[in-house]
Structure 1
Amino acid sequence: MSVAHESMAASARRSRPARAVKKSMQPGERVALWVSRVVIWCVIVMVLLPMWFVVIASFNPSNSYISFSLFPSNASFANYRALFQGGQFWIWVRNSLLVGVVVAVVQSLITAMSAFAFAKLRFYGRKYGLMALLLLQMFPNILAIAAFYTALAKLNMIDMLSSYMLVMLGTSAFNIWLLKGYMDSIPKELDEAAVIDGTSTWQRFIHVTLPLATPMMVVIFFLTLVGIFSEYMFAGTILQSPWNYTLGVGMYNLISGQFAKNWGEFAAAALLSAVPLAIVFAFAQRYLTKGLVAGSVKG
């Protein structure tokens, strides 16, 4: 009886989870830890403080953009009511969403096919094509505004949302390089197995590479959408009618008047324009994190 009792006690001790050994910290490590915490909190305050001033300006009816008080004394929704009058703000949001979603979807597909060709196929001119993409990234987009405007003016395509979409579809050189690096990390044995099974190049792209590259595709979609919402140079050059304005052009016109600058309405529009992107980020956060991290490790 005692032998059985001892065996049961020994098995209970073995099944009991081992306690984590508390590691003692050296004085230098403790100081470094607290210094890093202080630096992190300082950075957080530096990032959030300007955003808080934008929130204050949006509720400040005096139309002042800079306030030295952390809380507005006479807060009201006057700037939001003025922003919604006439419905122009909703037109800007609609145009930005339309252009952003269309450009993000089409550019993601073009980027995926281009990156697959450079990463998985071998063809004449592949090396020089990659060099051309690298050279295109070295020049800022502002250098091409005059050429785009001249070409669209000759084709009578100025002040059209479709023209603006067409121009923005051509700004995907960086995304191609980004997705190509991710596809290079996909094991080539998967492609070899697909070739042995008799699949075509298109089938390899659709059924093998594209599903594995979904996290990075979501990252490219989100970055493109954010870029469209914040883009002004091409939109301000191509779009000239108020009903074709995007958020960037419309918000700039709020503060570009010669005698009046609607800083309060501008701050309110800046806060509201972040709502669609925050919603997209909330739904795609899991894929964004996976896509940004997975491509850095060779598989």
Structure 2
Amino acid sequence: MAMSSQSFSAMKSQRPIAARTRRRRSMQPGEQVALWVSRIVIWCVIVMVLLPMWFVVIASFNPSNSYISFSLFPSNASLANYKALFQGGQFWTWVRNSLVVGVVVAMAQSFITAMSAFAFSKLRFYGRKYGLMTLLLLQMFPNILAIAAFYTALAKLNMIDMLGSYILVMLGTSAFNIWLLKGYMDSVPKELDEAAVIDGATTWQRFIHVTLPLSTPMMVVIFFLTLVGIFSEYMFAGTILQSPWNYTLGVGMYNLISGQFAKNWGEFAAAALLSAVPLAIVFAVAQRYLTKGLVAGSVKG
């Protein structure tokens, strides 16, 4: 009896191998050529994407402060650019300011986006049909058109060169995020809302206890997209923030290469690599929610 069970398990383990063998043998020559061509194309694309990043890595270890190198490996690699970047502590100040602004804006904007999306998805009010479409049309205009208005208003209120002012300006909710989250909330069964109404729940309670917990994956996606956008934003930060201790990463890194007689390309490359570390950590922690939110938001339930 033991021998029969062992032989049965051995035959069971050999079935996938035999199936793969038959599948491999059944491929036509033309299909094999297409498969290898697709693999070569994919690898070429990967190399093309990673090659510029590799040149940034080389520039960060190049003590000659040259940004363009014709060698794939640095000849005189050193940590001089990283040491120069850390001297004075300005880089850590930029990182701290970017983290503070990014986390505060991402959290606040995600919550404002959730309230707006809930209103357009679950409530019925006058102007609901064309309200979100109007927001999307307004979003098409470039943000640079609003810089003069924001700067004039902040100057009259004596709020120039303040991190709080920059956070206040960046709190404007993205119409695209509202549209994305509204589509996700539309997939939440309306029977849950109806059951909450029968139990006596108010609109706020329906939002906090029913819809918002079920929208966590998409909320994480919006939080991450907002955080990435704040880390890479320069236009408003360069206009509002004027003191070195208030610089974010975008403004501080631009000042490294904006000198008339000296452009610190090596330090810029080192800062570019180090600035990606916080985002990589956030992505690694929230990867499960990001994948679930993006997949769920790609279809309409």
1:13 is displaced (CA, Å) by 6.2
The aligned counterpart of 1:196 is 198
1:34 is displaced (CA, Å) by 1.1
CA distance in 2, matches of 1:99, 1:243: 14
Specify which of 38, 41, 45 is matched with residue 39 of structure 1: 41
Deviations 1:100-134 (A, max 9, x none): 00000111110111100001111112123212211
Specify which of 275, 279, 282 is matched with residue 281 of structure 2: 279
CA distance in 1, matches of 2:229, 2:212: 23
**Any residues of structure 2 matched to 1:175-254 within 5 Å, and which?**
175-254=177-256
The aligned counterpart of 2:152 is 150
Residues 1:100 and 2:102 aligned together: yes
SS in 1 for 2:34: helix
The aligned counterpart of 1:135 is 137
1:17 is displaced (CA, Å) by 3.8
Q: 1:13 to 1:274 in 2, by over 3 A?
A: closer
Q: Is contact 1:185-1:295 (8 Å) kept?
A: no
Residues 1:259 and 2:261 aligned together: yes
1:194 is displaced (CA, Å) by 2.0
Q: Is contact 1:61-1:75 (8 Å) kept?
A: yes
SS in 1 for 2:286: helix
CA distance in 2, matches of 1:259, 1:171: 40
Deviates more, 1:276-285 or 1:134-143: 134-143
C-alpha root-mean-square deviation of aligned residues, in Å?
1.9
Q: 1:38 to 1:158 in 2, by over 3 A?
A: same
Provide the TM-score with structure 1 as the length reference.
Answer: 0.93
Deviations 1:108-162 (A, max 9, x none): 1101111000011111121232122111221111111111111111111111101
Structure 2 unaligned residues grouped into runs of 5+? none
CA distance in 2, matches of 1:47, 1:257: 29
CA distance in 2, matches of 1:270, 1:203: 44
1:42 is displaced (CA, Å) by 0.7
The aligned counterpart of 1:162 is 164
Deviations 1:216-250 (A, max 9, x none): 10011111111111000000000011110000000
In structure 2, give the amino acid aligned to 1:201.
T
Q: Is contact 2:117-2:182 (8 Å) kept?
A: yes
Deviates more, 1:32-41 or 1:224-233: 32-41
SS in 2 for 1:231: coil
SS in 2 for 1:25: coil
CA distance in 2, matches of 1:16, 1:121: 59
CA distance in 1, matches of 2:35, 2:185: 38
Percent sequence identity over matched residues? 89
Runs of 4+ in 1 over 3 A off after TM superposition: 12-18
1:196 is displaced (CA, Å) by 2.4
CA distance in 2, matches of 1:173, 1:234: 19
Q: Is contact 1:61-1:76 (8 Å) kept?
A: yes
1:171 is displaced (CA, Å) by 4.2
Q: How many pairs align?
A: 292
CA distance in 1, matches of 2:4, 2:95: 69
Deviates more, 1:141-150 or 1:65-74: 141-150
Deviations 1:34-61 (A, max 9, x none): 1111111011101110001000000000
SS in 1 for 2:76: coil
CA distance in 2, matches of 1:192, 1:171: 29
CA distance in 2, matches of 1:9, 1:159: 80
Q: Is contact 2:112-2:173 (8 Å) kept?
A: no
Deviates more, 1:120-129 or 1:275-284: 120-129
CA distance in 2, matches of 1:15, 1:97: 56
Q: 1:13 to 1:244 in 2, by over 3 A?
A: closer
CA distance in 2, matches of 1:25, 1:135: 50
Q: 1:71 to 1:16 in 2, by over 3 A?
A: closer
Provide the TM-score with structure 2 as the length reference.
Answer: 0.92
CA distance in 2, matches of 1:167, 1:111: 15
